[in-house]
Structure 1
Amino acid sequence: EFISDFKKYDTEDDWTYNFSDDDLREISEDAISFSRSMSDHLVKYGFTIYDTSKDRERILHQIVEDIKAKIGN
């Protein structure tokens, strides 16, 4: 899924645009591992974690709404 997201959302301006599936798979595995290890630390210090791996557009909209609510707009 992570690899298909790269391919779906990458543009020519993205550093992963011309990577092979094998390269994307390796990057994906590293990114998932890093994300899992950081999530606990981020929550501990008050950050909100958003999972954009599913329903990306809705989640991005929710992030914007959450920011607006925090700043009073």
Structure 2
Amino acid sequence: MNLHVEYEQEEDGRWIAEIPELPGALCYGASQVEAATRVEALALRVLAERRDKGEIAAFPINLETAGNALA
């Protein structure tokens, strides 16, 4: 499964990181790196829960960034 992380910076300086392939997987951070770290951890928890419930089969995961590249 390929997951893409998209970033946007709010007017107040906070960053939003979102994974469109997982509805609701959106996290804020004080920096782009912090937002990315949080949303990636959230994505792994969501996928693990779905796997534990038998909703999805095991599969390799590839996380890619979109938009602004992390520094």
- TM-score bracket, normalised by the shorter chain, equals 0.3 to 0.5
Higher relative CO (CA 8 A, sep ≥ 6), structure 1 or 2? 2
Larger Rg: 1
Q: TM-score, length-normalised on structure 1?
A: 0.34
Name the structure with the higher strand share. Answer: 2
Which has the larger helix fraction? 1
Q: TM-score with structure 2 length normalisation?
A: 0.35
